[in-house]
């Protein structure tokens, strides 16, 4: 199915919003809970399925919904359609700071593989499915696990990533990456993991036990701040349950943390 041709504008820098402009009867699909605002003549409906196969039967819809459960996402995608006259706008944002990446699937060979929570929204006609890591080691020790999302189509899709996003074009090259820093890559690239140096480096180097390797020819998107890393820092510095901090730089706060054994 040919994807709807949508126009867009990305607002902001570190807390970005993408505004999608829809012609009459055009539709954009999005993850549940990502919409920020929309014009009155935009109609939205939660559906099982991405709408890329209009004649899809009930069994296939249930199968697709089951696959989405494996990624940790809602079984529903929300379809936003312009039912009015003239152009209408609907806007989306991700739940944590970072960048929104517009991806023209037609220019990437018709598909991209991305981490399971990177998909934000896409033109209707884009197929949102899952793909499994081909190597057992990548599944157990890679930051992406066995399950990755796969976007297929010939239109625009939008991914979200944390921190700064870097786009790399690999030409029969290999790059080593912290496992959480991969956002997405084209299908021609090979994804695997390898041990992070010797045993001392693995346990005390601070880079984790394993690194991801991407090799081949294709397009790769990287993020500087994976959400898991951000969450770990927040939890580490958050006050303990039932207690309160006296301030990051105060004397009382420092003494209290020493007594509690935090320093």
What average pLDDT does the segment 95-106 reach? 91
pLDDT band at 196 (very low <50, low <70, confident <90, very high): low
What average pLDDT does the segment 28-37 reach? 93
What average pLDDT does the segment 126-154 reach? 69
Q: How far apart are CA 153 and CA 210, in angstroms?
A: 33
Tokens of 30: 């999005």
What average pLDDT does the segment 97-121 reach? 91
Tokens of 263: 């320093």
Whether residue 84 contacts residue 24, with contact meaning beta carbons closer than 8 Å, is answered with: yes
pLDDT computed for residue 103 by the predictor = 95
pLDDT band at 133 (very low <50, low <70, confident <90, very high): low
Q: How far apart are CA 61 and CA 203, in angstroms?
A: 45
Dihedral sign, Cα of residue 23, residue 24, residue 30, residue 34: positive
Please, what are the domains in the chain? 7-230 (3.60.160.10)
Strand intervals (E) in the chain:
7-11, 17-22, 27-31, 35-38, 42-47, 77-82, 88-93, 99-104, 111-114, 119-123, 127-132, 147-152, 156-161, 165-178, 182-185, 189-195, 210-223
Instruction: Report the chain's mean pLDDT, rounded to a whole number.
Output: 78
């Amino acid at each position: 199915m040919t994807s709807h041709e949508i126009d867009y504008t990305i607002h902001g820098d570190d807390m970005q919003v993408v505004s999608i402009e829809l012609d009459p009867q055009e539709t954009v699909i999005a993850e549940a809970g990502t919409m920020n605002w929309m014009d009155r003549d935009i109609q939205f409906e939660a559906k099982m399925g991405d709408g890329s196969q209009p004649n899809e039967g009930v069994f296939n819809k249930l199968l697709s919904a089951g696959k989405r459960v494996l990624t940790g996402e809602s079984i529903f995608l929300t379809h936003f359609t312009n039912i009015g006259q003239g152009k209408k706008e609907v806007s989306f944002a991700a739940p944590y700071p970072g960048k929104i990446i517009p991806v023209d699937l037609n220019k990437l060979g018709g598909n991209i593989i991305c981490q399971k929570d990177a998909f934000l929204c896409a033109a209707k006609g884009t197929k949102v499915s899952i793909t499994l890591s081909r190597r057992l080691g990548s599944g157990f020790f890679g930051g992406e696990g066995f399950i990755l999302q796969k976007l297929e189509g010939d239109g625009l899709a939008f991914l979200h990533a944390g921190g700064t996003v870097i786009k790399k074009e690999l030409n029969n090259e290999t790059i080593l990456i912290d496992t959480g820093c991969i956002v997405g890559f084209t299908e021609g690239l090979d994804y695997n993991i390898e041990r992070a140096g010797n045993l001392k480096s693995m346990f005390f180097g601070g880079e984790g036990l394993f690194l991801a390797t991407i090799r081949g020819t294709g397009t790769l998107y990287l993020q500087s701040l994976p959400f898991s890393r951000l969450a770990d820092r927040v939890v580490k510095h958050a006050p303990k349950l039932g207690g309160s901090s006296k301030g990051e730089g105060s004397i009382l706060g420092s003494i209290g943390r020493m007594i509690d054994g935090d320093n």
